[in-house]
Structure 1
């Protein structure tokens, strides 16, 4: 069953990244299913921490980007979603290549939403698992 309340495409989603941190980190939305959203992010100097590893903060940016965008696609035009809380567990390090994040809902409610995000490498090894809680705000 499709959970999205907005008519979206990968092309449209990628166009929303212009002049944002999402564009700066080269995050690209790559898959939209009936109940999940996926995006890729390169592991390179722009996403490294000083030891040459994927920065945990970059992983959190990918996670929050996916969870926030997905949450906002699950509400009508009379509402919008903002982040309340995010956590991330960094499981495995990565020095280069490409990571893929995927989000799906744990809970879609009237006042809150909870989204799970997993970030994997090219071999589908789990690098980071994250959960974001979103507040659903209603426009006046």
Structure 2
């Protein structure tokens, strides 16, 4: 089972120009103070960016994460998160995606994810 499946991440839209994922916030995703663990935002962002990057590549190539920066703006303790990823830069050997995570209309985190494009082995 993949980490995305284990956490409950659901794919809503996947293309080379936009990815939308949702994640119901459960007790298993909360840190001891009752709010969403910050690492969950990073996992959600990397999953969204990776799916978008892969959608832009042919079958001979893969995209692998090399850097992620996540800024947390609001605490979340329940509900469903929606992550929307869009490409900032798409090159021959790297891609950088911006991922906004929202609870309803409220921005909860923003991540920048850089991926390296490699030949599939």
2-structure distance, mates of 1:130, 1:85: 10
Q: Which has the higher strand share?
A: 2
Moved over 3 A (4+): none
Q: What TM-score comes out, normalization by structure 2 length?
A: 0.94
Unaligned runs of 5+ in 2: none
SS for the counterpart of 2:71 is strand
RMSD of aligned Cα (Å): 1.3
Shift of 1:34: 6.3
Which residue of 2 is the match for residue 74 of structure 1? 56
Shift of 1:111: 0.6
102, 108, 115: which one aligns with 1:120: 102
Q: How many equivalent residue pairs? A: 121
- 1:17-56 mapped onto 2 (5 Å cutoff): 19-32=1-14, 35-56=17-38
SS for the counterpart of 1:72 is helix
Q: Are 2:83 and 1:101 aligned?
A: yes
